[in-house]
C-alpha cells in the first residue's frame, strides 16, 4: 500500500500499516536468526556501500538499519496524519 503524502488515513488504516511494519521487523529478525555467518543476504534494491568480507553478517545489519530508518520515517508520517 503506497500513500501519497497528502492522503489522510483513518485509525483502521493506520493500524493496518503498523501491523505491516511489524511483520517486516519480525521477518528481518527471523532472517537474521536463521542466517549462518557464511550466508549472504541480498534483497532486491539494496546493496551495501562497502561489503565487509571479514564479517558477512554486516550486510544484514546494514539492511536492518536501512529498514529501521524507513520504518521510523513512515511512522512519523503516520503520526503527523493522525495528529496534525
pLDDT tens by residue, 44-76: 444 444 455 555 556 666 777 777 788 888 878
By mean pLDDT, which of 6-10, 36-40, 78-82 is the weakest? 36-40
CA atoms within 13 A on the CB side of 21: 18
Residue 81, judged by CB atoms within 10 A of its CB (0-12, 13-18, 19+), counts as middle
CB-based contact 28:67 (threshold 8 Å) = yes
Q: What is the pTM of this model?
A: 0.35
Amino acid at each position: 500500500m503506497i500513500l501519497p503524502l497528502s492522503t489522510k488515513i483513518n485509525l483502521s488504516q493506520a493500524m493496518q500499516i503498523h501491523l505491516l511494519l511489524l511483520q517486516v521487523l519480525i521477518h528481518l529478525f527471523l532472517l537474521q536468526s536463521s542466517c549462518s555467518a557464511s550466508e549472504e543476504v541480498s534483497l532486491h534494491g539494496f546493496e551495501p556501500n562497502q561489503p565487509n568480507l571479514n564479517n558477512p553478517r554486516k550486510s544484514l545489519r546494514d539492511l536492518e538499519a536501512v529498514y529501521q530508518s524507513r520504518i521510523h520515517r513512515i511512522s512519523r508520517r503516520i503520526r503527523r496524519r493522525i495528529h496534525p
